Amino acid sequence: MDNKKKLIETIHFIRTKTNIKPKCAIILGSGLGDFAEYLENKDVIQNSDIPHYPKSTVVGHKGKLVFGFLNKKPILAFQGRIHYYETGDLNTILYPILVAHRLGIRKIILTNAAGGVNRNFHPGDLMLIKDHINLTFETAYSVLQESKYSLKGYVYDKDLIKTAVDIADEKNIPLREGIYVGVKGPSYETASEIEMIRRIGGDAVGMSTVNEATLASLLGMKVIGISCITNYATGVTNLKLSHAEVTEVANKVKHRFSELIKAIFFKIC
């Protein structure tokens, strides 16, 4: 069954579970899923119940679609994501973006946990993604199966970026800006790979987001991305890396993260 037929069945199922029709969505990265708890009057759908919807297997990704309201504004929160290393299939990891588009989402906030490559970054920092470098060597174009789509400019919307910067300044929330580098994973990068990433302009590195952002932009959505720097990348310090550290740091900054995300949402949606 091709994606078009799968999407019809997926959307039909979701529509039977909720009447909420948001125009804005957020994908919550590793350790950041608790943001969905701020939503009111929620309709929660388990990913495992949705026909054809991929299942997340990573700790810190709860695997739910949460429809609800923030200050009476409708929003869809993807509580967890699927990474390339879980399936090895681009169609699978990008299926949530196709679902978001079919549900009528027009603006999407992509969040992730990332390693700090920039030596001025520290665990707990929040970084606004100005642009990305895709080292997954995969292309979101292949998922669309049509030639009519093309990027019209920057993947990350310049107006949304400016809005986020203004909000952070107004609320006195420290916010870094930088280039996110996406890799396939699942292993952490070597010190030499991190040095290469730094030399080509990367400030943070992670295992998601780049193909999601590209596909969302191709489909006409306005995209903004925010990384939570959860660890120093290999070679920046002598510390060993672990996924437990990633989720622990993300949990420590969740209140500051949530304050920023809510303020951005209220402004753009």
Active-site amino acid positions: 30, 61, 83, 85-86, 113, 207-208, 231, 243
Q: Could you tell me which residues are beta bridge partners of residue 75?
A: 68
* Three-state SS letters, 25-94: EEEECCCCHHHHHHCEEEEEEEHHHCCCCCCCCCCCCCCEEEEEEECCEEEEEEECCCCHHHHCCHHHHC
Q: How far apart are CA 21 and CA 205, in angstroms?
A: 33
Burial grade of 140 (CB within 10 A; 0-12, 13-18, 19 or more): buried
The tokens of 120 are what?
Answer: 């001025």
Proportion of the chain in helix, strand, coil states, percent, rounded to 5: 40, 25, 35
Yes or no: say if 154 and 166 are a contact pair by the CB < 8 Å rule: no
Yes or no: say if 85 and 207 are a contact pair by the CB < 8 Å rule: yes
Which 3 state secondary structure label does DSSP give 154?
coil
Q: How far apart are CA 125 and CA 46, in angstroms?
A: 31
